Amino acid sequence: MLEPEATEPDEPGPDHGPDPAPPPDSAGLPGTQSPETHPHDRSQPVPGAGPRVWLVPTPVGNLGDITLRAIEVLRGADAVACEDTRRSGALLSHLGIRKPLVRLDAHTMHRAAQVLEKHPRLAYVSDAGTPGISDPGSELVQAALEAGVPVEALPGATAFVPALVLSGLPTGRFTFEGFLPRSGRERKERLGAVASRAETSVLYESPHRLGATLRDLAGACGAGRPASVTRELSKRFEETVRGPLSELAGHFAAEVRGEIVIVVGGQDQPVAQPQPGDQRDWAQAQAAQGHSARDIRDLLIARGLRKNDAYALALQVTGAETA
């Protein structure tokens, strides 16, 4: 049975985007990319003389999750390199910091050496979370090390650690998979690795591919493999749903919003196999929610039903002629 756990909002609000937090001495400041001094910008040198690169984690949702050390580094760096200058500019404005912003994303990372030469004390931020974790950043580290520039990685926000803890699955050993390949042989191999692994696996996924990935995981790992899906971490509509993979696939068949973390139990975890008598009731419930015969068929197969039986039952509960 699915175990949803959601944080309900006290009042209506958007279900996507960061939650505001009281800015430190920065109320009403406009966003800017100018390096000019501002009364609220208490820039000062940060520890460590000479050239240096700092990887600075930024909040995955609630802006209040920024650390004091991250603020200190951002204030003391010569410039801030980032994936999106508008998004990072808004964060710096919120913090009352004015620094030159340099775009350094997956498409422009080849400029890393030139950027380091121009800005020898450089802070790097991704759009959210820790740079280099399923985000650009590792290339900058390599460029800095090759140039003999020291690198510091600040501890801070990342999505997969809270999701792993919230899953209720074993955390003593785990493998972080990041994003699976979208298709092909490599995707099948990675799914097989998750299925055969004894420890917990943690994956990232985009909202519009969540349903398909859960179905593929159920097919590879077994319908009853315990798992959880966490989305919108630290935001108003934060949600963690726990249950067998096949039920999670049904629950998230429709597209949702937010950043997604999937946590899958290892193969030695207790497996809850669906009872044969429950298959029809479950399929009828999926049909009542508007799922197509094709989707119901695929989900029934993931729940352990034989392909021909799943095909026939999907047709029956939807009244369709073809699936």
At residue 16, the pLDDT reads 42
Give the structural domain span for 243: 160-264
Residues 76 and 104 in one domain: yes
The answer to whether residue 234 is domain-embedded is yes
The answer to whether residue 5 is domain-embedded is no
At residue 306, the pLDDT reads 78
Residues 113 and 221 in one domain: no
The last residue of a domain, from among 106, 137, 153: 153
Place of tokens 């802070």: 123
Checking if the pLDDT of 13 tops 70, the result is: no
Could you give the number of structural domains in the chain? Answer: 3
- 320 close to 286: Cβ distance less than 8 angstroms: no
At residue 255, the pLDDT reads 84
Q: Quick one: pLDDT band at residue 290, thresholds 50, 70, 90? A: confident
Q: Quick one: pLDDT band at residue 123, thresholds 50, 70, 90? A: very high
The last residue of a domain, from among 153, 188, 217: 153
The last residue of a domain, from among 153, 175, 190: 153
What's the number of CA atoms in the CB half-sphere (13 Å) around residue 82? 23
Write down the H helix ranges in the chain: 68-76, 85-95, 112-118, 138-146, 160-166, 184-196, 210-221, 245-251, 278-288, 293-302, 307-318
At residue 278, the pLDDT reads 74
Percent share of the chain, pLDDT over 90: 61
At residue 305, the pLDDT reads 74
At residue 4, the pLDDT reads 63
- 36 close to 264: Cβ distance less than 8 angstroms: no
Interatomic CA distance for residues 22 and 54, integer angstroms: 25
- The domain that contains 172 carries what CATH number? 3.30.950.10
Residues 148 and 189 in one domain: no
Q: For 108-118, how does the pLDDT look when each residue is reduced to its tens digit (9 = 90+)?
A: 999 999 999 99
SS3 244: strand
Checking if the pLDDT of 30 tops 70, the result is: no
The answer to whether residue 107 is domain-embedded is yes
The rounded Cα 225 to chain-centroid distance in angstroms is 21
Q: For 174-201, how does the pLDDT look when each residue is reduced to its tens digit (9 = 90+)?
A: 999 999 999 888 998 999 899 989 999 9
Look over the chain and give the mean of its residue pLDDT values, rounded to a whole number: 84
Checking if the pLDDT of 301 tops 90, the result is: no
Q: Quick one: pLDDT band at residue 35, thresholds 50, 70, 90? A: very low
At residue 59, the pLDDT reads 96
Neighbours of 161 (CB within 10 A): 17
